[in-house]
Amino acid sequence: MYRDQSVSLVIPAYNEEETIQHVVTEFRGEPHLDEIVVVDNNCRDRTAELAAAAGARVVAESKPGYGAALLAGMDAAKGDILVLVEADGSFRARDVEKLLVYLQDAGMVVGTRTTRQMLEQGANMRSILRWGNVFMAKFLQLLWLRPHEPRFTDVGCTFRALTRETFDRIRPRLSQTGPAFSPEMMCAALQERCRIIEIPVTYAPRIGGESKHSDTFWRQARTAWMMWKTICRKRFFERSRPVRQGDDADRVGRR
């Protein structure tokens, strides 16, 4: 619990048997989390078995893709607050409290992995990947400069928290099944005039396995192209919620 609100952690997983038990065990030690939901996204290994053994509630999602898994996990979660994280061990449980503290002033808090002082040695944030995320984040920021004036430096960081009300408001606007789901969430929140705050989080090397989206230059380029198209579609071809008289465009989700 955090300030009388229940908190659910959602972890999408695809063949993460090398890391999932460690991740669930680490986050179970975070006192504010009430449940951990691991989404078995067509795993062909022992991911689901090991996650359940470590104390997580496992739900299955047959529709492939990172975005599809996160949506299934958030739909299944019971918490008033939803925290999202990767299954690869690259994020630290101690940062959950940081996300929750800032969520008191926003509907969504997103982490950034591009702060050099927060990168641990060996983390998968090489120069081209880091600056690619910064560029895409600034592109999103520029498109949504009016009326929101957001400040972003990372569009691909899974580690984030949002209120249940924010999720319910943006849920109809979410359709991406792959890595473009991350910036789509940010755009959807801006469309719904939710306040978003970005904060630096610790980014560490993967415990095992390889990234499904950024392990090669071509996968990075493909992911960047998908994100760019998604951001443009959300800004230019989908209508935002209109501003009503007396409406606070940056209001925090109601509690």
The number of folded domains in the chain is: 1
Task: Output the pLDDT for position 250.
Answer: 43
**Residue 126: which H helix or E strand, with range?**
none
Q: Is residue 93 part of a domain?
A: yes
Q: What angle do CA 91, 95, 101 make, to 5 degrees?
A: 150
Q: Is residue 121 part of a domain?
A: yes
**Residue 55 Ramachandran class (φ > 0 left, ψ -120 to 50 alpha, else beta):** left
227 in Cβ contact with 183 (< 8 Å): yes
Task: Output the pLDDT for position 123.
Answer: 67
For CA atoms 238, 244, 250, 252, give the dihedral sign.
negative
pLDDT of residue 118 exceeding 60, the answer is: yes
Q: Is residue 252 part of a domain?
A: no
Distance of CA 159 to the CA centre of its chain: 5
- What are residue 164's phi and psi, to 5 degrees? -60, -35
Domain span including residue 107: 7-236
Task: Output the pLDDT for position 36.
Answer: 98
Q: What angle do CA 222, 223, 224 make, to 5 degrees?
A: 90
CATH number of the domain encompassing residue 56: 3.90.550.10
192-223: per-residue pLDDT in tens?
Answer: 999 999 999 999 998 865 655 555 677 888 99
Q: Is residue 85 part of a domain?
A: yes
Q: Distance (Å, rounded) from C-alpha 20 to C-alpha 87?
A: 6
5-57: per-residue pLDDT in tens?
Answer: 999 999 999 999 999 999 999 999 999 999 999 999 999 999 999 999 999 99
Structure-block tokens of residue 248: 């606070």
* More confidently predicted of 239 and 95: 95
Residue 221 CB contacts under 8 Å (≥ 6 apart), including other chains: none
One-letter amino acid at 70 equals L
Task: Output the pLDDT for position 248.
Answer: 46
Q: Is residue 243 part of a domain?
A: no
What value does the mean pLDDT take over residues 178-185?
96
Q: Is residue 178 part of a domain?
A: yes
Q: Is residue 160 part of a domain?
A: yes
Q: What angle do CA 55, 27, 32 make, to 5 degrees?
A: 100
Q: Is residue 247 part of a domain?
A: no
Task: Output the pLDDT for position 255.
Answer: 47
103 in Cβ contact with 165 (< 8 Å): no
One-letter amino acid at 202 equals T
Percent of the chain with pLDDT over 70: 89
Quick one: which of 100, 64, 54, 65 has its CA closest to 80?
A: 100
Task: Output the pLDDT for position 210.
Answer: 60
Q: Position of tokens 């689901």?
A: 48
Q: How confident is the model at residue 253 (pLDDT cuts 50, 70, 90)?
A: very low
Please report, for residues 22, 82, 113, the alpha-carbon distance to residue 125 in angstroms, rounded to integers and kept in the order given: 22, 25, 8
Question: Helix, strand or coil for residue 240?
Answer: coil
* More confidently predicted of 220 and 135: 135
**Residue 51: which H helix or E strand, with range?**
helix 47-54
142-155: per-residue pLDDT in tens?
Answer: 999 988 899 999 99
Q: Distance (Å, rounded) from C-alpha 9 to C-alpha 176?
A: 21
Output the pTM of the full model.
0.91
Q: How confident is the model at residue 117 (pLDDT cuts 50, 70, 90)?
A: confident
